[in-house]
Each structure stands twice: as structure tokens, then as C-alpha cells.
Amino acid sequence: MAQRTHRFFISTLVACVCSAHASQAPPFELREATITDVHRAFDSGELTCRELTSKYLERIQAYDAAGPTLNSIEIVNPAALQEAEALDLQFSRSGLRGPLHCIPVLLKDQVETRDMPTTYGSVVFENFLTSRDATIVSRMRAAGALILAKTTMGEFASRYVGSGVGVIRNAYDPTRNPSGSSGGTGAGIAANFGMVGIGEDTGGSIRGPAAVHSLVGLRPTVPLVSRHGMMPANPSSDTLGPMTRTVTDAAILLHVLAGYDANDPLTAYAVNHVPESYSTPLTRDGLQGARIGIIRAPMDPNTDTTSADYQKVRAVIDRAFRDLQDLGAILIDPVSFAHLDTIEDTYSGNIYETEEATDSYLAEHADPPVTTLREIVLSGDVTPWRAKGLMGLIGRTTSDAGYLKILTARERLRQSVLTTMADHNLDALVYATFDHQTTIITSDVLTNPDTQDQYALGNNRYLSPVIGFPALTVPAGFTSDNLPIGLEFLGRPFTEATLLQFGYAYEQGTHRRQPPTTTPVLP
């Protein structure tokens, strides 16, 4: 299985790391370092790319392969140290290759890499090599990035378990789930196993793991970032985006990812919508005069507003709203819009795109282990909960009458949100990413098709994918029992720069992120 591959690569690379210790530069504090910190250390001669890469590999070995066993890393790049040395050589000759020079990236294993397997979290695709890079991988590498590892993910982009990876765990409390399906990236970036991460968000899989890991997670407007080289789920709402520890790092990474790609024609809509920089607008006074509408009504029909758990989250979110006001925002509290109660059913009701999209994707490859979604389900290898969900997608197409109902419901909700924003002259909406804390992992999540783990209870993430608008989750702080809570901003299409501006001002004005105590600085 891929996990065994991960262990072998780690053991080999750590042996190389140990042999290089004698020549390392003066100590560099890795935990919570940013892109700017690293490039400054390169310029001063305090740090090399090989040393940086080695330090992350040591943390992965200490805390993912062993330690609290977060199970966030699927496959480590076996050539990581060699690539780091090549980047060091380039830096010595001509300086930084680009804005991501030697920035170690944790990449969700839903995204193809030419030099590492792509498994989609499933034993069905164990050690599957596609021999191509996804567009975003090519762009990151051209900007100097080092793809350090592929991260574990919920099987075929759902939840936090898979037949190929087992159970992914939350970095702040390994007994709890890490949200999904980009849970491995969330846990890995929170634990400082890499500098920046890539998640995929169909219904919330970037923002969920970010919220429960005190991270910044951006779901872009769907046409902004190419999906070429990524296994689809629902193409009308699938997107890829940054998962980072700071807003600035998210802005730097987004600028590398964004823009037109002929291999993903939908990105043609992004032409003339990519600014010269997503970082330039980031200022500490970025919330001054911003008109922000607060959504207080739960979007998950299962939210229990009378529970103690809900009250713990609400205390954090209410403080965040006060902070926004103190930082200069003009709050319209609360705002409401028609059809809010249809969000859950509109998202969950889209069962029509997946089979066609998956079969078309698999047809792009010369020798996949299976060629259709039906074969995946009938393999008998997929975890029971995921197999049950996928079975309900078989035989559905976008020609079905039910799909027209979904499209109509989406447009009705989109118009309602835009009208509310226009009526109140709003720049963004804001709400809790989840109204409940992330839940305890039950013992039967790998075996029971009807496991009752209350996964994603209090989920407010569906609004963004249903209407196709961008959303940014930032750390709002911690509950009284020390679990991270996320605050989510939502804006009109292609307003990522504005959302990042608001998120940065909030981040700098509050400094709510704290790293997990489960993965401290190594001795």
C-alpha cells in the first residue's frame, strides 16, 4: 500500500539528512515560518534549501510516521533532497527561481504528479503513476516550488478515511476527525510538515480542514484555477486552492495557481479577472469601512443551537464579529436571504455529474487499474461508507430531469444572495465555517456504511460551492477546550483579492492562530 511506500521513502531520506547535519547552517526556527521568512534566510546565508527540506522531513518522521501518528502524509517525494540541492545551485548562480523558490508543498493526492503515485486515497489506485503533472503542479514547479509530499485524503474526495490510507487524524486532538476530504493537507500544514498546502474543494474540503486546524483556506471562484490533472467529483463546483498558516502565504500561492489554462476551458472565464498581485492589497487597515453582512442562521438543518458545544463555538465567533467591528468594519447584523433553507438539499442533490466526469477523466490515461466509476464501486475494495455513496451516483447523467432542478435551485439561491448584498451594499458575508466542533472518530468509520460519527455537524460550507462564489476561512481562535474554530468570508465572483485583504487585516489584528501542542519543536 502507499503507506508502506511512504515509510520506505522517509527512512531513506532521514538517513541522508543525518549524514548532512555536520555541515548545516546556524539553527533556523522552522515551526510557523513563512515564505518571506525562508527567502530572507536564504538571502542571509542562514539557510539552504536542502537544510529546509531536511528539517521538514525530520518532522514528518517524528510526528507522522511515529509520534501522534496523524497519518497526514501519503507519499514523500523520493527525490526531495536532490531537488533541493538543484535549487540551491540555481540560487547560488542566479537567485530565486520564482516566488515559491524552495517552498515545500504538501499536495493532496487527488492531484497528479509525474514522479509520484496518485492514489485518490484508495487501494484501487495503489501506486498508480500517470506520468504527467497537473497544471497547478507545473505552475508551482515553474515558480520554484518543491513538491515535498502527497497528502492523505478521504477516499475519492469524501470524508477523512480511505481504503488506501486508513484514518486521518486531527493535529490538535488526534481522537477527533480532521474534516475532509483534504484532511491530510490540513493536519500536515497545521503540524508544520510542509510550508504551504494544496486542497481540493467540491463542497468544503479546503475550508473544513482549514477551520479545524487553525489555518487559512481559500476556495476560489471555480474558473480561477485549473483542475486539469485532478480527478473530478462534481465539475461544476470542483476547485483547487491554498491551505496555509498565513494569509500572505495563501496570496502568494494563489497568484501562482490562478489563470487561464487551455486544458481546462472553464478557466477562460478568469481572463481579465486575475490582478497583478494578490499580496499588494494586504494591509493592516484592510477592514476600515468594509461593509460586511453577518449570517447567524445555521445552514445545516442538524445544527443544535441549544447544545453546549454550539455555545462554545458561538462564543468564539461572537468575539470574532466584535473584532471585525473594532478593526473598522461596518457590520450589518444579521442579514438574511431567501432560500437559505435550500442550501443543503441543493448541494447534496447534485448526483448527476460524477459518473460522466470520472469516466471521462479515467479515459485520459493509458492504463488505469479501472476505467469507470462503476468498476471502482464493484471492485469491493472501497471503504463501505464511500462505496455506498458512490453507488448512488451510478446511472445518473446531466441529461436527467433532476439536474435541471438543481441548476434552477442554484440560480435562485445565487440571485437571492446577490440581491441581499446589493440591498445592503455589502462587500462580503461572514459566518462560522462550522457551528459545532469537529467530532470524535468512532471505532467503525472504516467498516460501517452507516457510521454515526456526526461528521461535519454544523456545516456552513455549502453556500459557496452551490452559488459558485469564493470563500476564505481564517483562524478565529479556540474554544474553551482548545479546539480551533474557523471564520469564513464569502464574496462575489473573482473577489479573492478583497477576501484576502479582509482576512489579512483580521489576522494581523487578532493573531488567533496557534500551532498544535501535539507536534512541538524537535529537540
Tens-digit pLDDT string for the chain (523 aa): 444 445 434 444 544 444 444 344 446 699 999 999 999 999 999 999 999 999 999 999 999 977 789 999 999 999 999 999 999 999 999 999 999 999 999 999 999 999 999 999 999 999 999 989 999 999 999 999 999 999 999 999 999 999 999 999 999 999 999 999 999 999 999 999 999 999 999 999 999 999 999 999 999 999 999 999 999 999 999 999 999 999 999 999 999 999 999 999 999 999 999 999 999 999 999 999 999 999 999 999 999 999 999 999 999 999 999 999 999 999 999 999 999 999 999 999 999 999 999 999 999 999 999 999 999 999 999 999 999 999 999 999 999 999 999 999 999 999 999 999 999 999 999 999 999 999 999 999 999 999 999 999 999 999 999 999 999 999 999 999 999 999 999 999 999 999 999 999 999 999 999 999 999 999 8
The pLDDT value recorded for residue 18 is 44
In contact, 105 and 197? CB cutoff 8 Å: yes
DSSP three-state, residue 287: coil
Report whether 463 contacts 298 (CB < 8 A): no
Q: How far apart are CA 506 and CA 503, in angstroms?
A: 5
pLDDT in the model for residue 66: 77
| Residue 395, number of CB atoms within 10 A of its CB | 10
CA dist 341 → 345, 346, 426, 454, 462 (Å)? 8, 9, 21, 20, 11
Quick: pLDDT tens for 36-75. Answer: 999 999 999 999 999 999 999 999 999 997 778 999 999 9
Q: What is the pTM of this model?
A: 0.94
Strand partners, 147: 105
Q: Which residue has the cell 508551482?
A: 140
What does the angle CA 372 – CA 375 – CA 378 come to, to the nearest 5 degrees? 155
Q: Which of 358, 366, 297 is nearest to 130 (CA)?
A: 366
**44 is a catalytic site residue:** no
| Catalytically annotated residue among 108, 150, 158, 182 | 108
Residue in 172, 246, 182, 233 with CA at minimum distance from that of residue 482: 172
In eight-state DSSP terms, residue 480 is T
User: Is 443 part of the annotated catalytic residue set?
Assistant: no
Q: Which residues of 3-33 are buried (b: 16+ CB within 10 A; e: fewer)?
A: bebbeebbeebbeebeeeeeeeeeebebeeb
Contact 168, 68 (CB under 8 A): no
Q: CA–CA separation, 276 vs 508, rounded Å? A: 23
Q: Is 30 helix (H, G, I), strand (E, B) or coil?
A: coil
Cβ(501)–Cβ(427) below 8 Å: no
Residue 108 annotated as catalytic: yes
Compute the distance between CA of residue 351 and CA of residue 403 in angstroms, rounded to an integer: 8
Closest listed residue to residue 210, CA positions, set 253, 242, 162, 165: 242
**Are the beta carbons of 494 and 224 closer than 8 angstroms?**
yes
Asked whether 59 and 190 are in contact (CB, 8 A), the reply is: no
DSSP secondary structure string for all residues of 138-158: HHHHHTT-EEEEEEP-STTSS
pLDDT at res. 522:
92
Catalytic residue (choose from 54, 158, 205, 214): 205
